[in-house]
Amino acid sequence: MRHFTSVYDLPNLAEAIKTAREIKLNPYGFQDLGKNKTMVLIFFDSSLRTRLSTQKAAMNLGMNTMVLNVNQDGWRLESELGVVMDGDKPEHLREAIPVIGRLRHHRRPRICPFRKQGG
């Protein structure tokens, strides 16, 4: 599936729930799904449960994970649109996304709508 932002994007919700139950019963039984794939996690704010649970789920599926803590870890990215890039942030998020996307499994990165923009 290329884009997933809602359960309405699923072609068959009942089948997805059935598969999720199978994975939950046997969390290490589907490691071939993520073989040779990398999930890049980008965090603007600290998020212990989201980060750890997502990394663990990816590892259970056999994926590698890369984590970028924006504005921490000594790396700052600008996220506001229309900003003059003369401050303390060396790159804009819009420039970084294609670079990050090339590190993944040759698919375009998806931005998860967990963080409120401008908030």
What pLDDT score does 74 carry? Answer: 61
Q: Which pLDDT score is estimated for 14?
A: 94
User: What is the structure's pLDDT at 1?
Assistant: 59
* Domain ranges across the chain: 31-103
Domain 31-103, CATH among 3.40.50.150, 3.30.9.80, 3.40.190.10, 3.40.50.1370:
3.40.50.1370
HEC readout, the chain: CCCCCCHHHCCCHHHHHHHHHHHHHCCCCCHHHHCCCEEEEEECCCCHHHHHHHHHHHHHCCCEEEEEECCECCECEECCCCCCCCCCCCEEHHHHHHHHHHHCCCCCCCCCCCCCCCC
Global pTM value: 0.63
The whole-number pLDDT of residue 15 equals 94
- Give the residue ranges of the chain where pLDDT is below 70: 1-2, 73-74, 103-119
